[in-house]
Amino acid sequence: MSAPAALSLEAVREELPAVAAYAAAAGLAVDANALSESILRFLVAFRNAAGENFSAEFDCRDYPMYPPTIEFVDASRTTRGALALYPAGFHGMPCVCARYNRKAYSERGGPHGDWRLVDWQLPTGNGVALDTFAMIVSDL
């Protein structure tokens, strides 16, 4: 099952002002210039602890039915998903390991066969639901 692209686009556009407000307060930049029904993606630019620029790319196909796929990309936006772009973790693959990232689910090759995509908006173990883009960006 999938969500119509028009529905996903509308949902993303509704949330972008809150993302932009959070990003501005945190010194981050949001790039949603290419966002359309055929390109359901936007980026948030970050700087890592070493001072290197990179972006989190949000692929929003099927949103909000399913979580976005979040992939880290280099500053030139030519390399995505490379291990060097991710912090060291306990999974063998480069992945933001959280319910809000579709890549973390086994359906997408991720480590979590114990999670169901339809449950992505449920509260985490500490009782907090990270179910909006602004909350997700704040967690990254």
**Residue 126's pLDDT band (cuts 50, 70, 90):** confident
DSSP letter for each residue of 43-106: EEEEE-TTS-EEEEEEE-TTTTTSPPEEEEEETTS--BS-GGGS---SSSS----STT-GGGBG
pTM of the full structure: 0.91
pLDDT tens string 61-106: 999 999 999 999 999 999 988 888 877 775 677 888 888 999 988 8
For the chain, give the mean pLDDT.
90
Quick one: pLDDT at residue 90? 59
